[in-house]
Structure 1
Amino acid sequence: MEIRLIRHTRPAIPKGICYGQTDLLPADSFLEEVSTIKAQLVDAPSPMAIFTSPLLRCSRLAEALFPHHAITADPRLMELDFGQWEMKAWEEIPSAEITPWMEDFVRIPCTGGESYQQLYDRCVDFIVALRKQQLKNVTIITHAGPIRAIHAHFNDIALKDSFSLKVEYGEVLKLEDWKV
């Protein structure tokens, strides 16, 4: 099986803002970024299935890349729920809240949100269900958090080390011959 993980394009939000599950529109550079992604997919086999996070920055990209395909939105592919930190500048989040999380983001949830372990668990649940479908080529449009979690699962990487994978906006990551 071959899976292509695609990170959404740049969202319409200033840098430095925490926005996990906030439903943001793509930035004005959307069409240019779509063209760049399409160029990366030119030699890829046509996907048997396309899945996307239901958030607009992913679902709009899925529709732009695959306008004549059935696309399935799945909430398990959403970005980390940052809870009360959503739409706050990172520097405005009280240190009493953010410091413990930064020291153990895998196990400690954001205030009113979820931990990286919780995100990982829902992404693995999605992958296990996907594997049962026995599809050959799958495309998943999602966020950096789920991409890192899925990559960590496939490559047996500790979650605390999974942020070493840098995932740019519009990046395509290919996974092959994976086992669940």
Structure 2
Amino acid sequence: MPAPRATTLLMIRHAPVVAPDRLSGRRDVEADVSDTAQARAVAAFCGTPDLIVRSPATRCAQTSEALWPGVEAEVDARLWEQSFGEWEGDWLADMPDLGPLSLAQLAAHQPPEGESFLQVTDRIAPALRDLMARGGRIAVVSHAGVIRASLGLALVEPPAGLAFAVGNWSVTELQGLPDGPMAIARVNWSPHDAA
């Protein structure tokens, strides 16, 4: 029986949204993919993946197309960003002050009519298991919250994922075997790191 095939997940955060001062979450906003140098650098860093998977969000579709023109990505609804419920579309400067919270408290906090970070983690865990079972080099174009939740799962401490910065156009790399632990190979790589 052949050994299980290792998997590398290249978790790519979408390009900047066109209205960066408002909370996007589940709002289907467009991305600004005009920085073709960034797109070329990220695509060169990632190479040719065996599979491209993305969130259903328009900003992820646009980013995927900018990275690999003409290559159709598989869509997985479990990779949507966190829903911020009633806060969706609000100005970031007007977000409520939650006061001092530990990472565990922040992860458990649920915005009105939205979902908590822990709920996001529960939603994406099966998606990550499914991807890890496929083997090979897989590009995943999604959102900061999804990538942070993936890091929390890899650390086996979901709230810890909130401690990571995840920039637009950045690549976070996870490695593993089917049904095994995930290793964090790199976090928040951007084309600027290569300059």
Give TM-score, length-normalised by structure 2.
0.78
Q: CA deviation at 1:5?
A: 0.7
Specify every segment of 5 or more residues in structure 2 that has no aligned partner in the other structure, as ranges: 1-6, 182-195
2:122 is aligned with what amino acid? Answer: D
Partner of 1:26: 31
- State how far apart, in whole Å, the 2-side matches of 1:81 and 1:101 are: 22
Q: How does 1:68-107 map to 2 (within 5 A)?
A: 68-93=70-95, 95=96, 99=98, 104-107=105-108
Q: How does 1:1-180 map to 2 (within 5 A)?
A: 1-15=7-21, 17-27=22-32, 30-32=33-35, 34-93=36-95, 95=96, 99=98, 104-132=105-133, 134-156=134-156, 158-177=157-176, 179-180=180-181
- State how far apart, in whole Å, the 2-side matches of 1:38 and 1:2 are: 20
- Indicate the SS of the match to 2:48: coil
Structure 1 or 2: more strand by fraction: 2
Deviations, residues 123-167 of structure 1 (Å, cap 9, x unaligned): 1110112223x22010000010000111221233x2332222111
Q: Higher RCO, 1 or 2 (CA under 8 Å, sep at least 6)?
A: 1
- State how far apart, in whole Å, the 2-side matches of 1:119 and 1:100 are: 22
Aligned-pair identity in percent equals: 24
2:80 is aligned with what amino acid? Answer: M
Deviations, residues 42-99 of structure 1 (Å, cap 9, x unaligned): 2544211111111111111112212232311111111110011101124445x5xx62
The CA RMSD measured in Å over matched residues stands at 2.2
Specify every segment of 5 or more residues in structure 1 that has no aligned partner in the other structure, as ranges: none
Contact 2:152 / 2:159 at 8 angstroms: preserved in 1?
A: no
